[in-house]
Amino acid sequence: MKTRTVVHMPSLVLSSCLVFSLACTVFAHQAPHKFLHCVQSHNSESISQVIYSKNNSSYLSNLLFSIQNIRFISPSMPKPAFIVIPFTESQIQAVVLCSKASGLQVRVRCGGHDYEGLSYSSHVPFVIIDLRNLSSIRIDAKKRVAWVEGGALLGNLSYQIAKRSGNLAYPNGLCPTVGVGGHFSGGGYGTLLRKYGLAADNVLDARIINANGEILDRKSMGEDLFWAIRGGGAASFGVVTAWKIRLVKVPDIVTVFTVNRTLEQNATDLVHRWQYVADKFDRDLFVRILVTRVNSSHHKEKTTVQAAFNSIFLGKIDRLLPLMQESFPELGLVQEDCKEKRWIEAVLYFSDLPDGSTLDDLTNRNPNPKTYYKAKSDFVQVPIPKHGLKGLWKFFDEDEAADAQLIFAPYGGRMSEIPESQIPFPHRAGNIYEIQHLAYWDNERNKQAERYINWLRRLYEYLTPFVSKNPRAAYLNYRDLDLGVNNDGNTSYKQASVWGTQYFKNNFKRLVEVKSKVDPSNFFRNEQSIPILST
Ligand SMILES: Cc1cc2nc3c(=O)[nH]c(=O)nc-3n(C[C@H](O)[C@H](O)[C@H](O)COP(=O)(O)OP(=O)(O)OC[C@H]3O[C@@H](n4cnc5c(N)ncnc54)[C@H](O)[C@@H]3O)c2cc1C
Ligand SMILES: *[C@@H]1O[C@H](CO)[C@@H](O)[C@H](O)[C@H]1NC(C)=O
Ligand SMILES: *[C@@H]1O[C@H](CO)[C@@H](O)[C@H](O)[C@H]1NC(C)=O
Ligand SMILES: *[C@@H]1O[C@H](CO)[C@@H](O)[C@H](O)[C@H]1NC(C)=O
Ligand SMILES: *[C@@H]1O[C@H](CO)[C@@H](O)[C@H](O)[C@H]1NC(C)=O
Ligand SMILES: *[C@@H]1O[C@H](CO)[C@@H](O)[C@H](O)[C@H]1NC(C)=O
Ligand SMILES: *[C@@H]1O[C@H](CO)[C@@H](O)[C@H](O)[C@H]1NC(C)=O
Ligand SMILES: *[C@@H]1O[C@H](CO)[C@@H](O)[C@H](O)[C@H]1NC(C)=O
Ligand SMILES: *[C@@H]1O[C@H](CO)[C@@H](O)[C@H](O)[C@H]1NC(C)=O
């Protein structure tokens, strides 16, 4: 491992110097020593036990530990000067102050699911603060609140809540290894969004370490910054070390079902019809659609498109069936399709963990094999006509679509009641559903990664007339650098508005104002961080 890192060192220096000219060559060599010296003088308490440099044998395994999109693991990936795995807030304070003083950038990592790898890579010399050892979850079931540390993962959160009460839950996303750091601060939604809104809508308080190394809570940070970190992405503002959240109620028994229909089984008509009902259903009902390519059962050697209506109802089968009969009879849901479960079992059902996984596996930080992928997102405000859907299915005839997936997630209900400016996440009333477009490929095909990415870009282009416009909206947690990137430390409001308004609409302006006020030196920055107003 030592040899490996030594070999890659020159590429790190080279890439940073393309950006920064000659001065940084010298700088890049000195910064690590300056940094180490600084943290030791700031925080003698055990700091050397939590800092890994390239000299440490577990540097690489710690770097790779939570990288979810292996598209970013390559020998040329710029690597951090240090990985810090703190277990106290004071260690983070020291790292923030010393990174700043020695000219290193900071990347904060929680679950490591960032779609563009921004939590663990950078083209300038940097330090990773990996929060995985600050991940305790304290639940007060009586008061229906919890304090969740900044490095906790969604699976453990669900698991710990269920241990305390079968009737409490949190309205967060489905994948158990997603981190609360990125997820809550970028919005965060799951099967409860139609009833309770986003994860970020239910945050009550937070602790953040700002660019001056100060620890702030809701009261001391003020309502502007507290607003910004609930949907605007915390990475632009500091290190969130804990969230206080309001738990929500779920019934003893819920019902899940997944009804699959191929094109031969009327999938086009069903998806078309779904667009007219999915956001208007009773808010106890969440029916999303997973679109994939499958082998045709009608014609050997042929493939078809399958729409899986993957659903949960916050109640029992006897109330669900008449409701579906009334709102969406075309799907033909029958009792045999449905399973009644406890809430936490439904969480496992939606978790995408391998078959045979148990509830305990929800707490596993590293369960699934990792994949290569690229994603984009869209919001649909007017139902896509049938000819539009048929054109979309054509993309699934192409080779690149073998493992591709589209996920249609319904909005409406609580989402339509929350004003666009309540938190930075602006995609509320008027949106019927959100689409996530995903291209996947494997190791063997990684040499042709560009083909898959281009497939996705062509599909996105095709959808232009059918989705939201001016701006074409996008979801921050499905980060997409195709929308635009910052020049390091030097991006105008106007340039950044191109992608900023796609994620945040009119809230982008307020985010820039908050950023300019709380981090005027733009210390916390990345390729898509909120820029500061230039003076
Ligand atoms: C398999 C999979 C399933 C998903 N399912 C859903 C879903 O159902 N619903 C949904 O809404 N989203 C979903 N997502 C998207 C997910 O919400 C985002 O990728 C989210 O940002 C990941 O957060 P993280 O902490 O795991 O990622 P990280 O890569 O650790 O962080 C993401 C960003 O947040 C910053 N950050 C992380 N922690 C902190 C912190 N404590 N303080 C400051 N900044 C921080 C990072 O620097 C980075 O910019 C899914 C993603 C994947 C890969
Ligand atoms: C990294 O290695 C140095 C010596 O090379 C050692 O002092 C330090 O404790 C190691 N860090 C960790 C976290 O093991
Ligand atoms: C890593 O080891 C080399 C050689 O032993 C040494 O010169 C360098 O200072 C060390 N770097 C850090 C960050 O400890
Ligand atoms: C996590 O913190 C504990 C102290 O609370 C420490 O003993 C342990 O080694 C840490 N783990 C890692 C991976 O740094
Ligand atoms: C899950 O949360 C519990 C309770 O705070 C904690 O003790 C445990 O370490 C966490 N597990 C993981 C894998 O984060
Ligand atoms: C529906 O299709 C999915 C793949 O999208 C598959 O995992 C699942 O087993 C299928 N369910 C049924 C009931 O056929
Ligand atoms: C397909 O769905 C439409 C309603 O959208 C319905 O009118 C038609 O009868 C269905 N056809 C079949 C074969 O199920
Ligand atoms: C689909 O068919 C191909 C061969 O035509 C086969 O290789 C593949 O495994 C099949 N996929 C599934 C999911 O059955
Ligand atoms: C900032 O951007 C402008 C225009 O994009 C460019 O001319 C200038 O060199 C940049 N400055 C730095 C320090 O990167």
- Write down the catalytic residue from 460, 475, 478, 503: 478
Question: What domains are there in the chain, each with its CATH number?
Answer: 11-132 (3.30.43.10), 137-250 (3.30.465.10), 254-341+371-478 (3.40.462.20)
Is the CB of 259 inside a 6 Å radius of any atom of ligand 6?
Answer: no
Is the CB of 150 inside a 6 Å radius of any atom of ligand 1?
Answer: yes
Distance, CA 106 to ligand 4 centroid (Å)?
Answer: 21
Half-sphere exposure of 33 (CA within 13 A, CB side): 5
CB 63 within 8 A of CB 172: no
Closest ligand 6 atom number to CA of residue 337: 13
Ramachandran bin of 81, using left for φ above 0, alpha for ψ from -120 to 50, beta for the remaining angles: alpha
Is the CB of 269 inside a 6 Å radius of any atom of ligand 7?
Answer: yes
DSSP secondary structure string for all residues of 377-440: EEEESSPPPHHHHHHHHHGGGSGGGTT-EEEEEE--THHHHS-TTSSS----TT--EEEEEEEE
3-class SS of residue 171: coil
3-class SS of residue 239: strand
Dihedral of alpha carbons 267, 194, 434, 440, sign: negative
Of 290, 272, 346, whose CA–CA distance to 314 is shortest?
346
Q: How far apart are CA 472 and CA 434, in angstroms?
A: 12
Is the CB of 265 inside a 6 Å radius of any atom of ligand 6?
Answer: no
Is the CB of 516 inside a 6 Å radius of any atom of ligand 6?
Answer: no
Distance, CA 58 to ligand 2 centroid (Å)?
Answer: 9
Residues 6+ positions from 301 with CB-CB distance below 8 Å: none
Ligand 8 atom 12 nearest Cα: 295
pLDDT in tens, 411-466: 999 999 999 999 999 999 999 999 999 999 999 999 999 999 999 999 999 999 99
Is the CB of 492 inside a 6 Å radius of any atom of ligand 9?
Answer: no
Closest ligand to residue 531's CA:
9
DSSP state of 80: -
CB 170 within 8 A of CB 156: no
Task: Give the amino acid at 499.
Answer: W
Per-residue confidence in pLDDT tens, the chain, 535 aa: 222 222 222 333 333 333 444 444 445 568 899 999 999 998 766 888 999 999 999 999 999 999 999 999 888 889 999 999 999 999 999 999 999 999 999 999 999 999 999 999 999 999 999 999 999 999 999 999 999 999 999 999 999 999 999 999 999 999 999 999 999 999 999 999 999 999 999 999 999 999 999 999 999 999 999 999 999 999 999 999 999 999 999 999 999 999 999 999 999 999 999 999 999 999 999 999 999 999 998 888 899 999 999 999 999 999 999 999 999 999 999 999 999 999 999 999 999 999 999 999 999 998 888 899 999 999 999 999 999 999 999 999 999 999 999 999 999 999 999 999 999 999 999 999 999 999 999 999 999 999 999 999 999 999 999 999 999 999 999 999 999 999 876 788 999 999 999 999 999 999 999 999 999 999 999 999 999 998 5
Residues 6+ positions from 84 with CB-CB distance below 8 Å: 50, 51, 52, 91, 92, 95, 127, 128, 129, 130
Closest ligand to residue 110's CA:
1
Ligand 8 atom 1 nearest Cα: 295
The predicted pLDDT at position 218 comes to: 98
Closest ligand 2 atom number to CA of residue 50: 13
Cis peptide before 471 (omega within 30 of 0): yes
Question: In this structure, what are the phi and psi dihedrals at residue 508, rounded to the nearest 5 degrees?
Answer: -60, -40
Q: How far apart are CA 34 and CA 269, in angstroms?
A: 64
| Range list of H helices, 197-250 | 218-228
Q: Is 372 a catalytic residue?
A: no
CB 155 within 8 A of CB 364: yes
The predicted pLDDT at position 535 comes to: 52
DSSP secondary structure string for all residues of 4-52: HHHHHHHHHHHHHHHHH-THHHHHHHHHHHHHHHHHHHH--SSGGGSEE
* Location of structure tokens 């605007």: 232
Question: What b/e readout covers 245-268, taking b as 16+ CB neighbours within 10 angstroms?
Answer: bbbbebeebbbbbbbebbbebbbb
Closest ligand 3 atom number to CA of residue 55: 1
The total number of residues shown for the chain amounts to 535
Distance, CA 533 to ligand 9 centroid (Å)?
Answer: 15
Is the CB of 487 inside a 6 Å radius of any atom of ligand 9?
Answer: yes
Best residue for ligand 1 mutational test, from 108, 147, 475 (most atoms within 8 Å of Cβ): 108
CB 211 within 8 A of CB 523: yes
Question: In this structure, what are the phi and psi dihedrals at residue 506, rounded to the nearest 5 degrees?
Answer: -70, -15
CB atoms within 10 A of CB 445: 16
Distance, CA 401 to ligand 8 centroid (Å)?
Answer: 14
3-class SS of residue 168: strand
Q: How far apart are CA 302 and CA 356, in angstroms?
A: 30
Best residue for ligand 4 mutational test, from 52, 59, 64, 85 (most atoms within 8 Å of Cβ): 85
The predicted pLDDT at position 366 comes to: 87
> pTM for this one?
0.93
